[in-house]
Structure 1
Amino acid sequence: MKQWLLVFLGGGIGSVLRHLIARHFNTYFSHFFLGTFIVNVLGSLLIGLILGFSVKGQYLSENQTLLLAAGFCGGFTTFSTFAFEKHALLTAGELFHFSFYLIASIVVGIAAVAGGLWLAKLF
């Protein structure tokens, strides 16, 4: 139960921060979501640092890793987890699985958004 609360707390903080950054920076350009881009890159850097420190073992406890990686980075951007997973596939030499998952995630994700918008029009 404590671990769920840590993820919940970190996720809430990350989500609010993502909203504030996107709200501020997405107004700069009409065809480039600068705030979202900043959040995705920053979230990817943060999850790399957090999980890197966690692997070293003496820097972050399991609860701190849950709060920061699953909670904060998960709420801040799911792109950070997506990027970490792609990196893991690349470093494992799984080029086919990396390419397939990357392309499928983007194509199916965009199709799912289009499908959701289409379904919403029906109701």
Structure 2
Amino acid sequence: MNSTPSFALSSLLVASGGAAGAWLRYLTGRAWLLAGPAASTAFPWATLTANVLGSLAMGLLVGLLARHGQGGEGWRLLLGVGVLGGYTTFSSFALEFALFVERGALGLAALYVGLSLVAGFAALFAGLWLTRWLATGTLA
């Protein structure tokens, strides 16, 4: 994969990588079930594991692609966008935060983290509220 792939090939790389990443995420959750139901439900260990392992893998991937220079777009699409995107989007979030920090844009880094957390949580609660409202017709 030494040149920029076509849109069709890019789409195939992202989709196939995404399927593999989603399956790996499922396996991570299943692995935590082996520790017993109490361990897997008392704390979101599987999500934490996916976020940490995905972030480590993203760092390794970006480091390798940067070290080897040009020609890594297909690998970035397959592994970074596809596999790691299907496994956890937290790895992309961590990379984008790190890029702000490395550029010395600490204010933007903090803004990005803050907005991501506040807006993400607010959107989740809005979705829950909207679903309940549509189901019951009340604002409870």
TM-score in terms of structure 2 length? 0.80
1:68-110, Cα deviation, whole Å (9 max, x unpaired)? 1110001100000000000011111111111111011111101
Question: Is 1:45 paired with 2:56?
Answer: yes
8 Å CA contact 1:17, 1:76 repeated in 2: yes
Q: Take 1:39 and 1:59, find their aligned partners in 2: how far apart are those partners?
A: 29
Q: For residue 18 of structure 1, report the CA deviation from its aligned partner.
A: 0.7
Rg larger in 1 or in 2? 2
Closer/same/farther in 2, CA of residues 77 and 91 from structure 1, 3 Å limit:
same
Q: For residue 23 of structure 1, report the CA deviation from its aligned partner.
A: 4.0
RMSD: 1.8
Question: Is 1:121 paired with 2:132?
Answer: yes
Q: Take 2:41 and 2:21, find their aligned partners in 1: how far apart are those partners?
A: 25
**Is 28-37 or 12-21 further displaced after alignment?**
28-37
Closer/same/farther in 2, CA of residues 111 and 31 from structure 1, 3 Å limit:
farther
Question: Is 1:2 paired with 2:9?
Answer: yes
Correspondence for 2:25: 18
Overall identity of the aligned pairs, in %: 38
Q: For residue 58 of structure 1, report the CA deviation from its aligned partner.
A: 6.1
Q: For residue 22 of structure 1, report the CA deviation from its aligned partner.
A: 2.2
8 Å CA contact 1:53, 1:60 repeated in 2: no
Q: How does 1:63-82 map to 2 (within 5 A)?
A: 63-82=74-93
Q: For residue 121 of structure 1, report the CA deviation from its aligned partner.
A: 0.9
TM-score in terms of structure 1 length? 0.91
TM superposition outliers: structure 1 runs of 4+ over 3 Å = 58-61
1:10-53, Cα deviation, whole Å (9 max, x unpaired)? 00110111122124427415442000000000000101111111
Q: Which runs of 5+ in 1 are unaligned?
A: none
Question: Is 1:96 paired with 2:96?
Answer: no
Q: Take 1:61 and 1:89, find their aligned partners in 2: how far apart are those partners?
A: 22
Q: Take 1:25 and 1:59, find their aligned partners in 2: how far apart are those partners?
A: 39
Q: For residue 61 of structure 1, report the CA deviation from its aligned partner.
A: 3.3
